[in-house]
């Protein structure tokens, strides 16, 4: 991990520090939050101090994200999960160049497993390259900058929120035939995105 920060840290600083300076946030920032919108295929990067509001620092196109709208329900469904997640682990030796692990499944995911498919799956990452079987691929150049940023943020300050669409533009988005808990999940996502990252 230190090698990646050494190799790509200057580029990460060049990309993200201007937003930090503009909003009086220390470099490297104490908190980073990624916003991923599946339909729009956009990954936004937001930074914040120990307290206070988040500021948008960058956005990357998502080059690949398999599946469609709706949460990941089981191993092998090739869905990108949806919801609120931490980013606990960084892998500098990924077969997809570099990767950042999403802590799927979280408690909500485990609580809504289908009875006939109790294995929710695992190993969901934001990574380089342009292929996906449930992960978010943003290409090698983008993951180099993002990895070097996330590596400098304490684990407690790293998270990703994944939504089916940009809920700022469609706060009432509904998935056809969705279970009530999925609709409630979207309401929570929409409310928190609107409040914290308008």
What residues act catalytically? 127, 135
**Which is nearest to 103 in space by CA: 78, 118, 128, 120?**
120
Report the candidate in 99, 98, 104, 107 with the shortest Cα–Cα distance to residue 75: 104
Residues in contact with 169: Cβ distance below 8 Å, sequence separation at least 6, in sequence order: none
190 phi and psi angles, rounded to 5 deg:
-60, -45
In angstroms, the first-to-last Cα distance of the chain is: 32
CB 146 within 8 A of CB 28: no
Does residue 105 have a cis peptide bond before it, meaning omega lies within 30 degrees of 0? yes
């Amino acid at each position: 991990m230190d090698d990646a920060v050494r190799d790509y840290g200057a580029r990460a600083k060049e990309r993200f520090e201007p937003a930090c300076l503009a909003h009086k946030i220390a470099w490297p920032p104490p908190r980073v939050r990624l916003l991923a919108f599946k339909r729009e295929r956009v990954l936004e990067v937001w930074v914040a101090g120990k307290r206070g509001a988040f500021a948008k620092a960058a956005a990357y196109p998502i080059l690949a994200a398999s599946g469609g709208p709706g949460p990941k329900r089981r191993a092998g469904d090739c869905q990108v999960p949806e919801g609120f997640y931490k980013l606990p682990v960084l892998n500098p030796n990924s077969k997809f160049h570099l990767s950042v692990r999403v802590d799927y499944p979280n408690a909500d995911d485990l609580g809504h497993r289908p009875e006939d498919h109790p294995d929710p799956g695992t190993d969901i990452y934001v990574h380089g390259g342009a292929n996906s079987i449930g992960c978010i691929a943003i290409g090698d150049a983008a993951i180099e900058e993002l990895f070097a940023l996330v590596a400098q943020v304490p684990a407690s300050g790293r998270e990703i929120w994944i939504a089916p669409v940009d809920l700022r533009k469609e706060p009432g988005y509904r998935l056809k035939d969705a279970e009530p808990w999925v609709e409630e999940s979207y309401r929570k996502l929409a409310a928190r995105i609107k409040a914290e990252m308008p």
